[in-house]
Amino acid sequence: MSGSKLFRLDAGFQQYDWGKIGSSSAVAQFAAHSDPSVKIEEDKPYAELWMGTHHKVPSYNHETKESLRDIIESNPVEMLGQGIIDRYGSKNELPFLFKVLSIHKVLSIQAHPDKALAKVLHFNDPANYPDDNHKPEMALAVTDFEGFCGFKPLEEIADELQRIPELRNIVGDEVAEKFIKGIKPEAVKDSADDESNKKLLQEVFSKVMNASNETVVENARALIKRAHESPADFNKPTLPKLLIDLNEQFPDDVGLFCGGLLLNHCTLKAGEAIFLRAKDPHAYISGDIIECMAASDNVVRAGFTPKFKDVKNLVEMLTYTYDSVEKQKMTPEVFDRSSGDGKSILFNPPIDEFAVLYTTFENGAGVRHFEGFHGPSIVITTKGNGYIQLGDLKLKAEPGFIFFIAPETSVDFIAEDPEFTTYRAFVEPN
């Protein structure tokens, strides 16, 4: 039966405190438009839409209400493909988790463990680390987006240690001077100088993360006073307002230093993406994004959070790579397994569990054909109207409508208007 290889999904959502409120949230809009039984509460946050097989918030067949996990388990070879089963060892789970995030307040500054560390953390502390998988992730902007991603270039941090007394107070004169005098910004990646740079950066970060609460509060208040009264003291014109805004959300927080001053402030336009490797510090600040990640819920937090902060593991685990924002952004690739109207571009991160295909029809309505992928995929429509067609099965696609497509299944995306936009997460065997 052709219909079993293409079907609509209902996805669950999470109402974390940082989410956009009520119908201002893309998550709420998508959930309610896809499932009319969802009534948006205008005073509640709608933060994340989860699409996939993660046990915490599973997706269901829109028609039969059967969980995607159960559907896959009943026919794993057809739903996942033997290559995916052999590669990832599961007969009921996708190796990726696909999400929409609607961000009103800054998320915690965080990093995710790699596989080796995840196994150790999960074994030692399963309450805070619920699984043993790594969690590299990619963020694709749906609207204008702001976030923190990775450490700033070292010379910028050195400049701040000289310009901003409050940062120097927290780091201490000895470590600050050692950093300023010791860094070699032109070091070649993986060279001895690069390793030395990373150790110096780790010392600075450790000092910030281990500062006493009294020291943080005192210097945070002075820092915000400086941002209001002497914005020219900062080396980026956007930084004072950013710090002021963040302080309103999390007053006197260590995140002002470990995030606002040490991490890159990244902005993306719709259709741009960043990839965050395991052990890279990051935080999302505002906007609507599509996010794809390995199927894990492990988070090691540092700041801007009332939740558990694992400072020791965080300081030890980070890669301490440092680079400009532009080098963190992903370069989209041409996707040559589709043809016809519209345009498909591929965001293909340097890991195996997922890639995301972004398809638009800016030049007008039409039909784009896709050959079968060699693994399963999930599609979400974010704008416009159209259809997804498999043989004689033609399913309506509107904002928030989500679909599962089985491996080796050729489909057509039919745009009724130039707004029609889809994101398709997929995995294929190597």
Over the chain (430 residues), the average pLDDT of each successive run of 10 is: 80 96 97 94 98 93 96 96 93 93 94 81 76 77 94 96 98 98 94 97 97 97 98 96 97 96 94 87 95 79 83 90 86 94 95 94 96 97 97 97 98 98 95
Phi, psi torsion values for 120, nearest 5 degrees: -65, -50
Q: How far is CA 17 from CA 29, 32, 49, 105, 393, in A?
A: 17, 19, 14, 8, 40
β-pairing, 366-370 with 411-415? Answer: antiparallel
Strand-pairing partners, residue 143, are none
The first and second tokens of residue 385, run together, are 């109207």
Residue 4 carries which DSSP code? G
pTM of the model: 0.90
DSSP for 213-253 reads HHHHHHHHHHHHHHHHH-GGGSSSTTHHHHHHHHHHHSTT-
Cα pseudo-dihedral 415, 417, 418, 423, rounded to 10: -40
Active site residue 301: yes
Annotated catalytic residue within 87, 301, 368, 424: 301
DSSP for 316-347 reads HH----B--HHHHBPPPEE--SEEESSEEEEE
β-pairing, 411-415 with 386-390? Answer: antiparallel
- 330-366, pLDDT tens digit by residue? 999 999 999 999 999 999 998 888 999 999 999 999 9
